[in-house]
């Protein structure tokens, strides 16, 4: 059984998992959803505020409910990396600069020292990852890859004036997404072909030179097969008179509705709120207050 | 044959390979102290050599954006925390393609096989130096440690990238590499 699973690669390629529930979030303009996603990522990366992150987490959970996605199903995506996240958080707790003058020591045992700063950093790390993962899954649950590329193209279009090839960029992303399952299939075929000639792709292989040598007979044909596939695609596109984005008209015209503006404004407000809390150090104040008054 | 169609398709397909190597972990080779070697940047180099600096830039952008997403969604090591910052994960990767293309272009007239090897090495070292440089500027890592990582990770990565670039491009363009049989 394990021998069979060794060649299973398609299972890894599940980026765009779409759940067609037809909810209010599914019907939003993909441009609005893309912008909301960018705002979320920006706010999560920039904000160092626990209160702000909690607000973002709540917003994503509300989004999951609005999208009619079962919340336990979405949370299941977090489970496989929980042990790893915990380890990372522990690393953060004990390795954040201990010498900061303002840090309060909460707990000390031989060389391990836990300060309020370190603990905050650890909690923030888990919070940040959870918000990112849930937010991105929410986006993929409610947006098809076609909607995504349409939205991307429409968003980039204003920059066309400055020479940005919006249509081409969207097409590149589209091709990349649609090539993933093809690559998985081809690699499985190549792995089986090499294994039938005696190659062993054991994952536990620690010897670097051996691993690298095993990869070469797989990677080089993979590149060549992909280039061949690309060649076929080019020919097919040209046979259908594809000439690029210039003068191209679209079957689908995106129209921003009132609901899209409302959603976008809400996301903007939340992101601004989270960043604002981070700038004013709102929860450091809160945190210190809690631990000073114990 | 229109050049844009070719550029668009090659950029898309090479971007897909880079993502695929990351998703399936085929692109990571376990190495000393858990710091895996990566070959996810090789599609960027190959795309740049085949179709020019712009295509290399776009594939680099896809590679960078994906490594940001992967660091956020499915971290593989403690270092991934840093890669959720676009300045670490995206910006340095934009330069891989153009540098690889420049070195290929400059040396091509002398010896095509050699220019491919150099392109592979130059592209990889661009990645190593810029990513580690940004990490150093952010004080995530002390400079002496960065130097060590650059040597222990950067050099083997450069060797692997050079071998793959040479094998793939030589086979694709049917360049003589001195072997009697096919280049693969």
pLDDT tens for B87-135 read 888 899 999 999 999 999 999 888 888 999 999 999 999 999 998 888 8
Which residues in chain A touch residue B167, judged by CB atoms under 8 angstroms apart? 216, 220
Partner-chain contact B43 A223, CB within 8 Å: yes
Question: Cα(first)–Cα(last) distance of chain B, in Å?
Answer: 28
Residue among B20, B49, B70, B141 with most chain A CBs within 10 A, to mutate: B20
**What is the Cα–Cα distance from B18 to B57, expressed in whole angstroms?**
13
Q: Find residue B28's DSSP bridge partners.
A: B38
pLDDT (tens digit per residue) in A148-159: 888 888 888 888
Query: For residue A58, what pLDDT is reported?
Result: 93
**Cα–Cα distance measured from residue A264 to residue A190, given in angstroms and rounded to the nearest whole number:** 46
Give the mean pLDDT of B146-153. Answer: 84
Chain A residues in contact with B85 by the CB 8 A cut-off are 45
pLDDT tens, position by position, A191-202 = 888 888 877 765
Which CATH number applies to B4-172? 1.10.1760.20
Strand partners of residue A107 = A114
Task: Residue A273: give the domain boundaries.
Answer: 1-6+13-164+252-294
| Distance between CA atoms of residues B49 and B105, nearest Å | 8
Of the pLDDT bands very low, low, confident and very high (cuts 50, 70, 90), residue A162 is confident
Largest CA distance in chain A: 75
B77 phi and psi angles, rounded to 5 deg: -165, 165
Burial B111-149 (b: 16+ CB within 10 A, else e): ebbebbbbbbbbbbbbbbebbbebbeeeebeeeeebeeb
A229, part of any domain: no
In whole angstroms, give the CA distance from residue A98 to residue B30: 32
**In 3-state terms, what secondary structure has residue A205?**
coil
pLDDT at A11 over 90: no
Helix (DSSP H) and strand (DSSP E) numbers for chain A: 11, 2
Query: Could you tell me if residue A188 is inside a domain?
Result: no
Does residue A197 belong to any structural domain of this protein?
A: no
Interface mutation vs chain B, best among A227, A239, A243, A247, most B CBs within 10 Å: A227
B74 vs A contacts (CB less than 8 Å) = 81
Domain count of chain A?
1
Q: Are A56 and A275 in contact (CB under 8 A)?
A: no
Q: Cα-flanking dihedrals φ and ψ of residue A56, to 5°?
A: -65, -40
Q: Which residue has the higher pLDDT, A196 or A4?
A: A196
Is any Cβ of chain B less than 8 angstroms from the Cβ of A223?
Answer: yes
Q: Under a CB-based contact definition with an 8 Å cutoff, are residues A237 and A171 in contact?
A: no
Express each pLDDT in A266-291 by its tens digit. 999 999 988 888 888 777 777 777 77
SS3 category, B18: helix
**Sign for the pseudo-dihedral over CA of A229, A232, A234, A240:** negative
Question: Closest Cα to residue A13, out of B14, B22, B60, B13?
Answer: B22
CB-CB under 8 Å, A222 with B2: no
Contact B125, B96 (CB under 8 A): no
Whether residue A97 lies inside any domain: the answer is: yes
Q: How confident is the model at residue A2 (pLDDT cuts 50, 70, 90)?
A: very low
Residues listed for chain B: 184
User: Which residues pair with residue A114 across a beta bridge?
Assistant: A107
């Amino acid at each position: 059984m394990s021998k069979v699973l060794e060649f299973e690669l398609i299972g890894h390629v599940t980026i765009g998992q779409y759940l067609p529930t037809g909810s209010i979030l599914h019907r939003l303009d993909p441009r609005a959803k893309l912008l909301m996603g960018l705002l979320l990522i920006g706010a999560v990366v920039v904000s160092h505020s626990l209160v702000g992150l909690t607000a973002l987490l709540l917003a994503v959970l509300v989004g999951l409910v609005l999208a009619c996605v079962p919340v336990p199903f979405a949370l299941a995506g977090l489970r496989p990396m929980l042990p790893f996240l915990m380890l990372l958080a522990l690393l953060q707790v004990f390795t954040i600069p201990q010498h900061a003058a303002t840090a309060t020591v909460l707990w000390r045992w031989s060389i391990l020292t836990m300060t309020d700063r370190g603990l905050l950093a650890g909690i923030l790390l888990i919070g940040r990852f959870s918000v990112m993962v849930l937010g991105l899954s929410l986006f993929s649950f409610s947006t098809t890859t076609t909607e995504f590329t349409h939205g991307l193209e429409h968003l980039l279009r204003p920059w066309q004036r400055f020479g940005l090839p919006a249509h081409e960029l969207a097409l590149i992303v589209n091709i990349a997404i649609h090539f993933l399952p093809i690559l998985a299939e081809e690699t499985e075929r190549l792995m089986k072909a090499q294994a039938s000639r005696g190659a062993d792709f054991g994952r536990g292989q620690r010897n670097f030179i051996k691993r690298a040598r095993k990869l070469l007979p797989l990677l080089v044909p993979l590149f060549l097969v992909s280039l061949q596939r690309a060649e076929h695609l080019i020919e097919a596109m040209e046979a259908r008179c594809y000439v690029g984005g210039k003068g191209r008209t679209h079957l689908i015209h995106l129209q921003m509705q009132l609901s899209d503006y409302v959603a976008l404004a809400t996301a903007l407000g939340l992101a601004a709120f989270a960043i604002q809390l981070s700038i004013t150090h709102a929860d450091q104040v809160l945190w210190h207050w809690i631990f000073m008054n114990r | 044959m229109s050049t844009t169609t070719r550029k668009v398709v090659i950029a898309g397909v090479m971007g897909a390979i880079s993502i695929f190597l990351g998703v399936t972990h085929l692109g990571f080779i376990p190495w000393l102290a858990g710091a895996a070697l990566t070959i996810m940047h090789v599609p960027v180099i190959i795309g740049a050599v085949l179709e020019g600096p712009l295509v290399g830039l776009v594939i680099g952008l896809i590679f960078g954006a994906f490594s940001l997403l992967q660091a956020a969604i499915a971290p593989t090591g403690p270092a991934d925390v840093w890669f959720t910052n676009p300045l670490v994960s995206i910006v340095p990767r934009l330069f891989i393609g153009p540098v690889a293309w420049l070195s290929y272009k400059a040396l091509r007239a002398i010896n095509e096989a050699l220019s491919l090897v150099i392109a592979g090495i130059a592209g990889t070292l661009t990645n190593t130096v810029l990513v580690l440089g940004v990490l150093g500027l952010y004080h995530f890592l002390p400079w002496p440690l960065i130097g060590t990582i650059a040597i222990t990770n950067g050099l083997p990565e450069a060797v692997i990238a050079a071998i793959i670039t040479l094998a793939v491009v030589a086979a694709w363009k049917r360049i003589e590499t001195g072997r009697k049989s096919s280049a693969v």
